[in-house]
């Protein structure tokens, strides 16, 4: 699994290919899994596989919203609360979600993100916002974050399916 720094050095086309693969990799991992397995948390602090899929679905919407904000404004402020993912998991009742429906929604959102990213000019890839913890972050930087984010959560999902934290 490449590091964030390794992804940052990779061409955009390579990072986009990473993003393209994620929905199919999720589908493969989820195939033939029982509902009990998908909903099983490896421990009280770590998410079940279906929670990971729901998180990716919702994070994709957040990434696209940030892209739209960056395109609409010059260096907008981008809020960040590290508690948001766990809050979403509880508030949005991820464990009650259907994993297949969450995957379908993620796939659709990812396709929309990729279609958007493929329309950008070089100058638009350098547009950015001011992230609360990372400082100025460009669309190009966000694609790096997304690639590493996908790897991290695919690994987390596979461990959850195996019952490991």
| Domain spans of the chain, in order of start | 4-161
> Is the predicted pLDDT of residue 24 greater than 90, yes or no?
yes
- For the segment 68-99, what is each residue's pLDDT rounded down to a tens digit? 999 999 999 998 899 999 999 999 999 999 99
Q: Which residues contact 2 (CB under 8 A, 6 or more apart)?
A: 10, 147, 148, 151
Query: Of 3.40.50.1860, 3.30.420.610, 1.20.120.450, 2.60.120.200, which CATH number belongs to 4-161?
Result: 1.20.120.450
- The pLDDT of residue 80 is 85
pTM over 0.95? The answer is: yes
> Is the predicted pLDDT of residue 22 greater than 90, yes or no?
yes
- The pLDDT of residue 132 is 87
Sheet strand arrangement including 128-131:
77-78, 128-131, 135-138
């Amino acid at each position: 699994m490449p590091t964030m720094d390794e992804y940052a050095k990779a061409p955009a086309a390579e990072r986009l290919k990473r993003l393209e693969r994620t929905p199919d990799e999720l589908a493969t991992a989820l195939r033939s899994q029982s509902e009990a397995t998908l909903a099983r948390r490896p421990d009280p602090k770590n998410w079940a596989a279906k929670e990971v899929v729901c998180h990716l679905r919702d994070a994709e919407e957040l990434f696209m919203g940030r892209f739209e904000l960056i395109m609409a404004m010059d260096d907008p402020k981008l809020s960040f609360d590290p508690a948001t993912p766990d809050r979403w998991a509880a508030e949005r009742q991820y464990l009650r979600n259907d994993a297949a429906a969450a995957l379908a929604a993620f796939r659709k959102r990812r396709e929309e993100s990729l279609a958007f990213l493929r329309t950008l000019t070089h100058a638009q890839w350098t547009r950015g916002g001011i992230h609360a913890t990372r400082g100025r972050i460009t669309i190009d930087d966000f694609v790096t974050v997304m690639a590493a984010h996908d790897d991290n959560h695919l690994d987390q999902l596979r461990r959850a399916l195996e019952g490991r934290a």
